[in-house]
Amino acid sequence: MNSKLEAKIEALLLQRGEPQSLKALAAAADATPEDLSAALGRLKERYAEHASGICLVEQGTHIALGTAPELHSFIESCTKAEYEKELGPAALETLALVLYQAPITRTTIDRIRGVHSSYILRHLLIRGLIQRSEDPAFARSFVYAPTVELFAYLGITKAEDLPEGQKVREELTHYLASTQGD
């Protein structure tokens, strides 16, 4: 039994926070496909035996950590309560960056804000305020942009309609250029 491989798989899936291909997972964990398959089987058994709130979610050749199906209604009620709250200052700040600088990467958002923004981006994605797509410039990277629904909610039809849009974009571009070496 290779519990170290299982720990590597869990850690990587947790850290990445999104589905990983079995091939990439095997390469990162330095495991054969057979060893990876066996370790995933043991993880599934462990989660089932210990009534864990975590499960492995498989989609074709990709796998991710997910919430155990029997906790769906619990998570749904927590999520609903979260949606009813107003957006906090960090979420509004991140949303403004996406609105004025789209398409924008998480790395750029992190650099401007000075803190890690993954949780907030996920929250905005779940609320349907922003969308994520693959970054055409870099494989395995994403860019964020506002959704059509957000524009409709704001009463605008395009980013150019944002208040002082050109001025804010110029200031952000200048700031990013001045911190390039940091």
Number of domains in the chain: 2
109 and 160 share a domain?
yes
Residue 175 φ/ψ, nearest 5 degrees: -60, -45
The CA angle 15-18-24, to the nearest 5 degrees, is 80
The CA angle 56-60-65, to the nearest 5 degrees, is 20
pLDDT one digit per residue (tens) for the chain, 182 residues: 567 999 999 999 988 877 889 999 999 999 999 999 999 999 999 998 888 888 898 888 899 888 888 888 888 787 776 666 788 899 999 999 999 988 999 999 999 999 999 999 998 998 889 999 988 888 778 999 999 888 888 888 888 888 887 888 888 888 888 887 65
64 and 18 share a domain?
yes
Q: pTM value?
A: 0.55
**How many Cα atoms sit within 13 Å of 159 on the Cβ side?**
18
94 and 60 share a domain?
no
User: Using only C-alpha atoms, what is the Rg of the chain?
Assistant: 20
Report the Cα–Cα distance between both ends of the chain, in Å, rounded. 45
Domain interval for residue 143:
86-178
Which CATH number covers residue 27?
Answer: 1.10.10.10
